[in-house]
Structure 1
Amino acid sequence: MKKWTKVLTGLVAVFAIGTLAACGAKKDGASKDGVKTYVVGVASDQQKEIWEKVSDSLKADKIKIDVKLFSGYTEENPALADGSLDLNSFQHVAYLNNYNKENKKDLTYIGYTLISPFGLYSEKLKDPKDLKDGDTVAIPNDPTNGGRALQALEALDIIKLKKDAPDSPEVKDIESYKTKIEIKPIQADQLVATLPDVTAAFINTNYVTDQLHTTPKKSAIYIDTDHLDKVSDLYKNIIAVRKEDKNKEDFKKIVKAYQTPEIAKLIEKTNDYPAWEGAK
C-alpha cells in the first residue's frame, strides 16, 4: 500500500510540475523551436484573413499568431479573461467597457484596428426616409451596438434621445419618437435571419460579409460612417489583452505588424476604415 502511495504521490507531483510549466508557457506564449505562439480570437472571416497576414509578417520576430474564429460576440472576452486566448480582435471600445463593467473585469486594449461601417438594411425599403409609423426596426440586443443603432436613428431624425443619455443608450433612453416605429432588440448574429420579418435592421458588418455575402456600400440603405462626425471614437475596434499583458514587448510588435499599409488595404476591401492614427 505504501508503495502505491509513493507512486501516486510521484504522479501527482509530476502532473503538478507539468501544469505549472504549461501555465508559465501560456503566460509568455507557447514556444516551439524558439517561435512564440499567441492565440487571438476573432469573429469574422475578414479578421481571420487579416490576422493570418499579420502572423506571416512576424516570422522574422519569431512570433506566430494562432487565429481562433468565433461565431458570435459572447465568448471572446471570457476566453481572454480565463487565459484561453492571449488577445482578441472583434470589439470596439464601448463593447469592452461594457463587458468590464458588467463582469467586474479589467481587460484593456493595446491598439486600434478599424472602425466598421454600421448599416441599416431592408428588403422592403430603399431609403430610411420611407420608414413610417408602425414599422419595425431590429437592432442588436447588446448595449453597445444597440446604442450605436439608436444614435444612428437619432441622426436620421427618427427618434430623439434624452439629453442625459449615456454613451451607449438603450431604448429606455429615448425621449420621443418622431416616427412611431417599433424597435426590436435581437441577438446580433440572428439579425440577418430576421431581416425578412422586419421593416429594416441594423446589422454589424462582419455578419453582412459572412452571412449576406455583400458589403455595406453595396447593400445598406444607410451607413453611419458616411457621417463620421456623428460616430463616437468609442466605436473604434481594438486589440484587447489582459491588463497584466498591456506592456508586453511581443504584443507591441504584434500591434506594429497590424497597423501597416498592407493591412489597411485588406480592411478597406470590405469598406471598413483603418482606425489607427496616420492610417490615412
Structure 2
Amino acid sequence: MKKWTKVATGLIAIFAVASLAACGAKKSDASKDGVKTYTVGVASDQQKEIWQKVSDSLKNDKIKIDVKLFSGYTEENPALADGSLDLNSFQHVAYLNNYNKENKKDLTYIGYTIISPFGLYSDKIKDPKELKDGDKVAIPNDPTNGGRALQALQALGVIKLKADAPESPDVKDIASYKTKIEIKAIQADQLVSTLPDVTAAFINTNYVTDQLHTTPKKSAIYIDTDHLDKVSELYKNIIAVRKEDKNKEDFKKILKAYQTPEIAKIIKSTNDYPAWDTTK
C-alpha cells in the first residue's frame, strides 16, 4: 500500500510538472506573439469585407479582428451583452437606444460608421406619387427602422405624424392619412420576400444588396438619404461595445482604423455614406 502511494505521488508530481511546463509554454507563445483578437458581429457581406480590411490595417498594432456574420438584427446585441462578441457593427443609434430600453441594458458606442440609404421598393409602381387608397406598404417591424419608414412616408406627403411624435415614431403616432394606405409591419429580413404581396416596401439596404442583388440607386423609387435634412442623426450606424469597454485603448485604435479615407472610399462605392466627419 505504501509502495502504491509513493508511485501515485510520483505520477501526480510528474503530471503537475508537465502541466506547469505546458502552461508556461502556452503563456510564452502568447507573449511572444502578442496579438490580441477581438470579435465583431456584422449583418451584411459589405460590412464583413470592410471589417476584414480594418483588421488587416491593425497588424502593426498587434490587433486582429474576427468577423462574425449574422443573418438578421436580433442576435448581435445579446451576443455583445453576454460577452460572445467584443463589438458589433450593424445598427444605428436609435436601434441601440431602443434595445437598451427594452432589455434594461447599457450597451454604448465608440463612434460612427455609415449612414445607409433607406429606400422604398416596388414591383407595381414607378413613383411614390402613384400610391393610392387601399395600397399596402410594408415597413420593418422593429421600432427604429419602422419609425424611419414612417418619417419617409411623411416626407412623401402620404401621412402626417402627430406634433408630439417621438424621433422614432410608431404607427400609433400617425395623426392622419393623406393617402389611405394599409401599413404592414414585417420582420426586416423578410421584407424582400414580401415585396410581391404588397404595393411597396421600405427595405434596409443590406437586404437589398444581399437578397435582391441590386442597389438603392438602381432600384428604389425613393431614397431618404437623397433628402438628408429630413433624416435624423439617430440613423447613423455605430460600433457598439459594452459600457465598461467604451474607453478601451485597443478600441480607440480600432475606431481610428475604421474611420479612414480608404474605408470611406469603400463605403461610398457601395452606395452608403460615411457617417463621420471625413474632412478632419
Displacement of 1:32: 8.0
Match of 2:226 in 1: 226
Aligned-partner SS, 2:123: coil
- Distance in 2 of aligned mates of 1:91 and 1:172: 24
Q: 1:104 aligns to what?
A: 104
SS at match of 2:229: helix
Q: Give 1:141-156 correspondences, 5 Å limit.
A: 141-156=141-156
1:89-128 counterparts in 2 under 5 A?
89-128=89-128
SS of 2:237's equivalent in the other structure is strand
> One-letter code of the match for 2:128?
P
TM-score normalized by structure 1? Answer: 0.89
Deviations 1:15-57 (A, max 9, x none): xxxxxx9xxx9xxxx9882100000000000000000000000
Equivalent residue number for residue 7 of structure 1: none
CA distance in 1, matches of 2:62, 2:279: 26
Aligned to 2:9: none
Listed one character per residue, the Cα deviations across residues 229-250 of structure 1 (whole Å, up to 9, x for unaligned) are 0000000000000000000000
Q: For the structure 1 residues 181 and 279, does the alpha-carbon distance in structure 2 shift closer, same or farther, using more than 3 Å as the test? A: farther
Q: Tell me the amino acid that sits aligned with residue 129 of structure 1.
A: K
Match in the other structure for 2:19: none
Q: Does 1:181 align with 2:175?
A: no
CA separation of 1:198 and 1:66: change in aligned 2, threshold 3 A = same
What corresponds to 2:83 in structure 1? 83
Superposed CA RMSD in Å reads 2.0
> Rg bigger for which structure?
2
Give 2:69's aligned amino acid. L
Give SS of 1:124's match: coil
Residue aligning to 1:171: 171
User: What amino acid sits opposite 2:49 in the alignment?
Assistant: E
Kept in 2, the 8 Å contact 1:264–1:279? The answer is no
Aligned residue number for residue 274 of structure 1: 274
Tell me how far apart the structure 2 counterparts of residues 64 and 167 of structure 1 sit (CA, whole Å).
37
- In structure 2, give the amino acid aligned to 1:66: D
Task: Provide the residue aligned with 1:17 in structure 2.
Answer: none
**Where in structure 2 are there 5+ consecutive unaligned residues?**
6-11, 17-22
User: In 2, distance between residues paired with 1:186 and 1:85?
Assistant: 27
Q: Which runs of 4+ in 1 moved over 4 A?
A: none
Q: CA deviation at 1:142?
A: 0.1
Query: Tell me, which stretches of 5 or more residues in structure 1 are unaligned?
Result: 4-9, 15-20
Residues 75-132 of structure 1, C-alpha deviations (whole Å, 9 max, x = no match):
0000000000000000000000000000000000000001000000000010000000
Q: Is the 8 A contact 1:31 1:37 kept in 2?
A: no
Correspondence 1:1-16 to 2 at 5 A: none
Structure 2 CA distance, aligned partners of 1:69 and 1:149?
25
2:73 and 2:32 map into 1 onto residues whose CA distance is 31
- Residue number in structure 2 paired with 1:18: none
Q: Distance in 1 between matches of 2:270 and 2:32?
A: 35
- Partner Cα distance (1:213, 1:263) in 2: 22
Seen in structure 2, the aligned counterparts of structure 1 residues 184 and 84 have a Cα distance that, compared at 3 Å, is same
Query: Which whole-Å CA distance do the structure 2 matches of 1:54 and 1:270 have between them?
Result: 16
Distance 2:165 2:99 in 1: 19
Q: Residue deviations 1:126-182, cap 9 Å, x none?
A: 000000000000000000000000000000000000001111100010000000000
Q: Is the Cα contact below 8 Å between 1:140 and 1:188 reproduced in 2?
A: yes
Q: TM-score, normalised by structure 2?
A: 0.89
After TM superposition, list the pairs within 5 Å mapping 1:205-244 onto structure 2. 205-244=205-244
Q: How does 1:20-39 map to 2 (within 5 A)?
A: 33-39=33-39
For residues 128 and 143 of structure 1, the distance between their equivalents in structure 2, rounded to whole angstroms, comes to 23
Q: Give, in whole Å, the separation in 2 of the partners of 1:40 and 1:84.
A: 9
Q: How far has the Cα of 1:204 moved from its partner? A: 0.2
- Count of aligned pairs: 257
* Cα deviation, residue 278, structure 1: 2.6
1:61 counterpart residue number: 61
Cα gap change, 1:195/1:172 in structure 2, threshold over 3 Å: closer, same or farther?
Answer: same
Whole-Å separation in 1 of the counterparts to 2:31 and 2:93: 31
**Do residues 201 (structure 1) and 201 (structure 2) align?**
yes
Instruction: Between 82-91 and 262-271, report the one with greater CA deviation.
Output: 262-271
Task: Report % sequence identity.
Answer: 88
